[in-house]
Amino acid sequence: MAALIFNLILIVAVGLQAMPLISVAAQAQRALLHQYNPTQDEFSRNVGTVLTFVIHAAAAGDKLIRRTLQDRRPVTLPLVSGYELGNVNYYVRPVVGSTRRSFYMTMDTAADLTWLQCQPCHPCFEQLDQPIFDPRVDSTTLSDIRGRSPLCNLLGAASITSMPDSPTCTYLKVYQDGSMTAGKLVSDTLALPDILFGCSHRSRSEQEGGFQDMAGIMGLSRGPLAFPSQLRRRALPSTFSYCLPKMYSADSSTLTFGTGGSHIAHNTVFTPLIINPEHPFYYYVHLTGISIGSRFLDLPSGLFDIDPSTGDGGLQIDSGAAITRLHPLAYHALRDTMQAIIAAHAPQLLPGEPYIDLLDTCYFLADGVQHDHLLDGVPSVVLHFARAADLVLPPDIVLMSLDKPDPDSDEHHPVCLSFSSSDINANFLRATSVLGNIHQQRTRFIFDVDNDRMGLTANEC
């Protein structure tokens, strides 16, 4: 049934030669702190009946979707890397409104709100899709959500500021780096009928290229306004999965909703999803250890535990951040061990100055050595999760090239250890770790929220 694809269009990034590219190094520097994570406001405890509110979806669209659910057939959406667009995000391209225009949207597992820039819009950032979505022209099906309504109350449940005195449901969301979006909560087609999203009339990025190219964000967190929660409230599939394709390619992969048991590969391993009581809308897993080759790092017991009183600690899965950040004790142990192994077994790699502040361990290929031998002697890194679920990071992901390889060039670009250290909080032993999208490449991540587990399937793109 071709209609079930919902008209999400593959992003053909290679053809966009006119767009200026931003260096991956600059993007990685900005990824130290996820630019879309909210400020540390206390999450509302009074979710109550709001989370059980049923959205009445358009009958025709829902009947078609429900047949898919009943037949246990997953809905699959194409996704690609944004590298050719000059950034390290991953994109889907849904249709929006009754005229079914398509827009680039960042796929983000740590975003609580799906939002799109809308006219009139001032100030707004540059986006690839022009003109900006204009509800007055592009849709006859868009409807405003009323202020103080149960649907508007979902903003408060997601710790998003709402304006209580407005007749329409208006919002303001400020991100950790100071970027912001403000507008009104609306309902319209966004890949599916009657999706709630923010129609952003004011958008600002505090860092150059922070919202580069995209028209908005598809939020995939546990939040009540995030895309998976909206589908779940409509009795649609509660599980979603994705496999991020290799960063330095225009290959497509998939974001899939409704992965039933019959669609899970036999080599999939599962680890429990953990609830962080202070940040309940993010996805956390228990990292039990790290090994490099056959060597297990000697790390303190409980290093990656969550402190329930502060919410610090743990390992968060974040497809919107590029670089994996580890607790400082774990990062220093990994870095020092990797440096020793490379010095002993990879003589073709010569230590160099840090390429950017974020990545402090970089190497250059020695003169006269063919690029094919770049990673000789470099071991894999394995992240060990609870219940014997391992994520194997091969050498070409452990040492990351900061520029797209050019087989026709003799120029040797640096490769850097693709890990960094977490911020040091007041409670040193509970620094939060983040698994970024670089280390999610080429593995399918399955978020089975109803069963409180995350699956990993290697090489499933």
318 has catalytic annotation: yes
Whole-angstrom Cα distance, residue 128 to residue 10? 14
CA-based nearest residue to 331, from 419, 432, 436: 419
Check 129, 194, 312, 318 and give the catalytic one. Answer: 318
* Contact between 114 and 160 (Cβ < 8 Å): no
The total number of residues written for the chain in this structure: 461
Check 108, 112, 138, 188 and give the catalytic one. Answer: 108
Q: How far is CA 82 from each of CA 105, 214, 240, 241, rounded to the nearest angstrom?
A: 10, 10, 21, 19
CA-based nearest residue to 171, from 188, 154, 187: 154
Amino acid identity at 372: D
Cβ contacts of residue 111 below 8 Å, gap of 6+?
36, 217, 218, 219, 220, 221, 223, 226, 320
213 has catalytic annotation: no
Instruction: Give the number of other CB atoms < 10 A from CB of residue 294.
Output: 7
* Contact between 218 and 94 (Cβ < 8 Å): yes
* Contact between 282 and 316 (Cβ < 8 Å): yes
Whole-angstrom Cα distance, residue 105 to residue 94? 8
CA-based nearest residue to 94, from 5, 198, 186: 5
Active-site residues, by number, are 108, 318
